[in-house]
Amino acid sequence: MLRVSIASPQELVSVERAPLRQIARTVLEGEEVAEAEISLAFVDNPTIHQLNNRYLQHDEPTDVLTFPLSEPTARKLVGEIVIGAEVALAQAQAQGHDVQAELALYVIHGILHLCGYGDKTAAEAIKMHERERHYLLQQGLPDIAPVVEQ
């Protein structure tokens, strides 16, 4: 069973919940996760800034924070993904694409982190962004995954 719940600051960014749930399910199934419970929270800049500072000691808003709540070897993948809705809106506007595509990218990115993908090294980031690109294109979304130079 794959369960995905979503919360959002709707006054900032309209979050299309059904497509994001489907994207989450598609990524989980694509990564061969048979059982998962993932919470997606879409928050404003002050909230994501506070969480980023508290948990990563980064004093700024960010796009995605991922909190694994199960062990990597657990039968059921459990985790929380916090997404900066205002960051997504600003990034989408700056890059000239739809905010829903940016939100989809962040959902994919967060789930890939929960599935064990990293992005701290260039090699990890390349692999992560290849998977993001795969899922974006699979969903008929634009290829907005970051490009990492080797």
pLDDT tens-place string over residues 75-86:
999 999 999 999
pLDDT at residue number 147: 82
pLDDT at residue number 81: 97
Amino acid at 13: V
Q: Could you give the angle at which helices 99-114 and 17-30 cross, rounded to 10 degrees?
A: 30
State the pTM of this model: 0.91
pLDDT at residue number 39: 94
- Measured in degrees and rounded to the nearest 5, phi and psi for residue 71 equal -70, 150
- Per-residue DSSP letters for the chain? -EEEEEE--TTTS---HHHHHHHHHHHHHHTT--SEEEEEEEE-HHHHHHHHHHHH---S--SEEEEE-S-TT-SSEEEEEEEEHHHHHHHHHHHTS-HHHHHHHHHHHHHHHHTT---SSHHHHHHHHHHHHHHHHHTT----PPP---
- How many Å separate Cα 8 from the centre of its chain? 14
Looking up tokens 């508290």 gives 54
pLDDT at residue number 62: 96
Q: What's the rounded mean pLDDT across residues 39-56? A: 93
Q: What's the rounded mean pLDDT across residues 17-26? A: 94
Is the confidence at residue 7, as pLDDT, over 90? no
Residue 101's CB is within 10 A of a number of other CB atoms, namely 18
